[in-house]
Chain A
Amino acid sequence: MSIFENIKSAFKNVFSNKMRTFLTTLGIIIGIAAVIAITSVGNGSQAQITEQFDSLGVGRITVSLRSNSPRNMVSADALTYDDYEKLKEMDGIKSISPVYNGSNASVKLLDPKETNNASITGVTPDYQSIMAPTMLYGRYVSDSDVEAKSKVVVINDTTAKKVFGYCDQSVIGKKISIKTWQGSSKYTVIGISENSNAETESLYENEYPERMVIPITSAFRLFNRKTLANIILVAEDADNADALCSAITDKLSEIHKNSDKYTAESAAEQMEALTEVTGTVTMLISGVAAISLIVGGIGVMNIMLVTVTERTREIGIRKSIGAKNKDIMVQFVVEAVILTGIGGILGVIFGWGFGMIAGNIMGVSSVVSVNSVFMAVIISTAIGIIFGVYPARKAALLDPIEALRYE
C-alpha cells in the first residue's frame, strides 16, 4: 500500500467524522494559531524596530555622562567642548558633533502675543551628516558659523508655519526672536528641514516645543554655559562600534581623571536590548503554545486509541487478507498525522487572522513569515507522529483472530 493511498484513505476516514476531527484538532489549532499570531506580530514589531533604528543610523554612538552621576554639581566630570575636540582626534570616527541641549527658551510666534517653548540644540556641521535631516530650503550650520558664533538657526517646516505663517524659500533670511532668561536675541533662519515627527506632533498642536538647531558656540553664548549634553558620533566601521565605545570612555576617564563616569552607547546595542525584550515575550507565549500543543497531541492520541478500538474488525480483515503489522502501523500513523496536519493548517489560518487583528489593535503590522508556516507544518506533523505511534502500534500488534471476532 503506497503512502499516497494511505493518505487518501486517511482523509476519507478523517472527513467522515468532521465534528470529531475538529474537536480533536482544537488543541493543535489553538497551539499553532498562538505561535503564528505571536511570531507574526513579533516579526512585525521587530521589523518596525529595525526600521526605526535604521532611520536613526545603526552605527551612531552617543557619549554621555552616566545618568546616575550628579552632572551639575561636579562640573569637573561634565562633558565639554574640549572633550569633543580631543575625541575628534581619535581614529575610527567618521563624523562627530558636540550636542548642547537648551530647553529653557521660548520663541515668539506669528501672533506677537503668543510664544511657545523652544528646544534648542547646539551642534557642529557634522551633526547634519549624523542625523541626516531632509533639508527643504537653505543650508545647514557651517564651520564658519561655528567659528563666528553666528546668530543663525535651522528650523523645521512646522515651526516655520507657526512663526511666519507659511513655509517657502522666502523664509530664509528672516529673523526669529529667541528669548532666554538672559534676554532675547534675533536669529536669522538659514535653513528649513522637514519635521520627521510632524504626524505625531500635529495631534498635540502646541504641546511640543519648537525644535531649532544653532551653532554650538552660539548656544554657549545664548545660554551662557559650556557643558555638553552629549557627544554624538558615527563610527567609520559599524562592526567596530563596540571597541570604539570603550576606547572613547577610557579616553574621557583619562582626560577627567575619574573612572566609570561615561557611557558610549551605539544604537545597535539599544536595539539588541529591545530585541531581547521582544524575544523574551515571544519565548514566554511560545511556551504556553507548546503546552497547548502537547495537550492537543494527547487529545489526538486519545481519539486515535478510540479509533483503533472502533476499527478492530477492520484491522482484523486487513490482516486476514495480507496486511503486515507495518502496513497497519503506517495506516494509523498517517491518519494521526493527517489529523494534526489539518489542525496545523487551520492553526496557521486562524493565527494569521488573529495576528492581523492584534497587529491592528497594537498598531503594528503583522508579518507571517514562510519560516513560521514551515515550522508550524513540521511541529504539527511531528506531534502526529509522536502521539500517533502508540495507538498505531497497538493496532498493528492486534491478534488477527481476536480482531476478526470483535463485534
Chain B
Amino acid sequence: MSKVMIQIENLKKYYTQGALQVKALDGVSLSVEEGEFVSIMGSSGSGKSTMMNVLGCLDQPTDGTFTLDGIDVSKLKDTGLAEIRNKKIGFVFQTFNLLPKLSAIENVELPMAYSGVSMRERHKRASEALEKVGLAERMRHKPNELSGGQRQRVAIARALVNKPSILLADEPTGNLDSKSTFEIIDIFQKLNDEGATIVMVTHEPDVAQYTKRIVTFKDGRAVSDELVKNRVIAEEEMR
C-alpha cells in the first residue's frame, strides 16, 4: 500500500449568505494516495471550488478533519496554513496568477523566497523547474511576453519548485486552446508518471479522461468516485 497523501473525513463547510445558510460542503470523505491523478468534477455550485480551497489550505473547514501528508491541517491558524501552502502544496490556477512585473524565473523563484532558500539555490532550482516544463529559453520573459500555454507552464514550474506533496490544479486548461491544453495535460501526466500526486478540478469530461480517477461532486457531496477505464495519453493524442 502506498502512502496516503490526503485523508478527509466528514468535511463540512457552511457559509452564511445574508439570512441563508449555504452548505458548500456537506460531509465529504475522500482519500488520495501518493501517485494518484484525481479529477474533481461537478457543475458550478457543486462544491468543487470550495473543496479546492480547503485542499489548498486557503480556507478552513467548518467541521471534519483534513490530514495532508500526515499533518492535521484543519486546526492550523494563518501562519501555519501559509507554511503548508508554501511547502506542501503546489497551486496551478485557471488564470495562471503570475505576477506581471516579474520575469518567468522570478515568478518561479517566489515560493522559495518565502521559505528562506538561498538566492543561489533558488536560481538553480527555478532554472531546473523551467527546463522541466520546456521553458528554459524564455525564463527572462515577462508573463505578457508569453503565450497562454507558456504562462501556464511557468505556473506549473512555480508549483513544483518547492517539491510539494500534492499538486492542485484548478481548471488549468480552462483558458487555453486545444493545442496548449494537450501540452499542459502532457506535462501533468509526465509529472504523475514520475510520482507526483495531482488533484485537478475540471468541468470538462474530455479533460477528466486523461486522469486516473474521477470524483464527482453534487450539492456539497461526493456522489461518485470511479477509476478511469480507458485513460487517454496526451502524448499519443498529439501525434
Q: A interface vs B, CB < 8 Å?
A: 1, 5, 12-13, 16, 313-314, 316-327, 400-401, 404
User: Is there contact, CB below 8 Å, between B59 and A322?
Assistant: no
CA distance A404 to B101 in the complex (A): 17
Residues of chain B within 8 A (CB-CB) of A1 are 113-114
Q: Is the CB of B82 within 8 A of A325?
A: yes
Find residues 80-94 in chain B having any chain A CB closer than 8 Å to their own CB.
Answer: 82-83, 85-87, 91, 93
Residues of chain B with a CB closer than 8 A to A316's CB? 97
Assess whether B111 is interfacial by the CB under 8 Å rule.
yes
Q: Which residue of A lies closest to B78 (CB)?
A: A325
Given contacts A320-B56, A322-B114, contact A404 B85 (CB under 8 A): no
Closest A residue, CB atoms, query B56: A320
CA distance A13 to B101 in the complex (A): 9
Neighbouring B residues of A400 by C-beta, 8 Å: 58
Whether A321 contacts B85 in the complex (CB less than 8 A), given A314-B99, A326-B79, A327-B114, comes out as yes
Q: Are B85 and A322 in contact (CB under 8 A)?
A: yes
- A residues in contact with B99, CB < 8 Å: 314, 317-318
Of chain B, the residue at the smallest CB distance from A6 is B113
B97 touches A322 (CB 8 A): no
Q: Chain A interface mostly helix, strand, loop or mixed?
A: helix
Contacts of A324 in B (CB 8 A): 78-79, 82-83, 114
Bound Cα distance from A320 to B113, whole angstroms: 13
Query: Does residue B115 face the partner (Cβ distance < 8 Å to A)?
Result: yes
Residue total for B at the interface (Cβ-Cβ under 8 A): 24
Closest-by-CB residue of A relative to B96 is A317
Q: A13: which B residues are within 8 A, CB to CB?
A: 101
Contact call B110/A321, Cβ cutoff below 8 A: yes
- Does B114 contact A5, Cβ atoms closer than 8 Å? no
In the complex, per-residue mask of B176-214: 1 if CB is within 8 Å of any chain A CB, else 0 = 000000000000000000000000000000000000000
Q: Once the chains bind, are A321 and B111 in contact (CB under 8 Å)?
A: yes
* Complex CA–CA separation, A321 to B155 (angstroms): 11
B83: chain A residues at CB < 8 Å are: 322, 324
In the complex, whether B53 has a CB less than 8 A from a CB of chain A is: yes
3 nearest CB pairs, A to B: A322-B86, A324-B82, A321-B111
Chain A residue contacts of B162, Cβ below 8 A: 322
Look across to chain A and name the residue whose beta carbon is closest to the beta carbon of B118.
A2
B153 beta carbon closer than 8 Å to chain A: no
Q: List the A residue with the shortest CB-CB distance to B114.
A: A322
B113 touches A401 (CB 8 A): no
Minimal beta-carbon separation of A39 from chain B (angstroms): 39
Q: Which of B121-149 contact A (CB under 8 A)?
A: none
* A318 and B101 contact, CB distance less than 8 A: no
User: Could you tell me the distance between the alpha carbons of A52 and B78 in the complex, rounded to whole angstroms?
Assistant: 66
- Is the CB of B151 closer than 8 A to any CB of chain A? no
- CB pairs A–B below 8 angstroms (16 shown): A12-B101, A13-B101, A316-B97, A317-B99, A318-B99, A319-B85, A320-B56, A320-B85, A321-B85, A322-B111, A322-B115, A324-B79, A325-B82, A400-B58, A404-B93, A404-B97
Find the B residue at minimum CB distance from A403. B58
